[in-house]
Amino acid sequence: MASVAVIGGTGMNQWPGLEVKEKLQIDTPYGAPSAPVLLGRVYGIQALFLARHGEGHRIPPHAINYRANLWALRQAGARSVVAIAAVGAIAPWLPPGMVAVPVDLIDYTSDREHTYCDGIHAELQHVEFTEPYSERVRRELLHGALAARIDIAEGGVMGVTQGPRLESAAEIKRLKRDGCDMVGMTGMPEAALARELGIDYASLAVSVNWAAGLGSGDIHGEIHQSIEEGMAKVRALLERALPALRARDEEMGS
């Protein structure tokens, strides 16, 4: 049984090194997930992988079926989920190419199917969300970075916007006033849905550009230059962190 899963986003729509054993076509009460859940072997363990934007990176952030994605991962056996997210940097300590393990978030999205408690498939529950990310998973990611000798930002607040357009300079100023250190488009409702399902979830945020109004030059060019540097760090970190997460899952299940 594979208890550890990775959700790949922009820059990691595929998982290099994953030896795929099976493509799981999972039906959910909420429709089809973005892509088949891949069951494979990597870093000496079994793991699951789901391409958040679908095969070919074709699904925009606001149109992703987040409910089906998380449901399918849980049905496949996931207990711990690491979600990869490409983000724009707001805080000066998160330059392009840097990786962060955020500790909190602010949700600016709208009109997304954001809960299983819809009165049809599940009863109402008010999930506790003071700390939206699993501290257990965050700790293993930070330990993995240390073991891999990767400089990583420990903390930060992620602002999650609707997309798919990038933000205006004034919007970034607002996010900064609100306390956001980075901005992405896919962190919610993903984190809340994981909490409703009892999945331990944390994010690895890869800074790929300075957010609007904070850098100079072409944002898309900056993304192109920075994304592979950040994703190489992610892969090295996961090589250390995922086996430890798998071992903890086994301990908790025993």
Provide the whole-model pTM: 0.93
pLDDT of residue 227: 80
Distances (CA, A) of 81 to 45, 73, 76, 165: 15, 9, 12, 27
Alpha carbons 92 and 222: distance in angstroms, whole number:
16
Give the contacts of 9 (CB within 8 A, at least 6 positions apart): 52, 53, 83, 84, 85, 86, 186
pLDDT of residue 70: 98
Over the chain (254 residues), the average pLDDT of each successive run of 10 is 86 82 95 96 94 92 97 96 96 95 98 88 85 97 95 96 96 98 97 97 95 82 77 92 86 63
Domains of the chain with CATH codes: 4-113+126-253 (3.40.50.1580)
Separation of first and last alpha carbons in the chain: 13
| DSSP characters over 36-82 | PEEEEEETTEEEEEEETTTTTT-S-GGG--HHHHHHHHHHTT-SEEE
Single-letter code of the amino acid located at 19: E
pLDDT of residue 254: 41
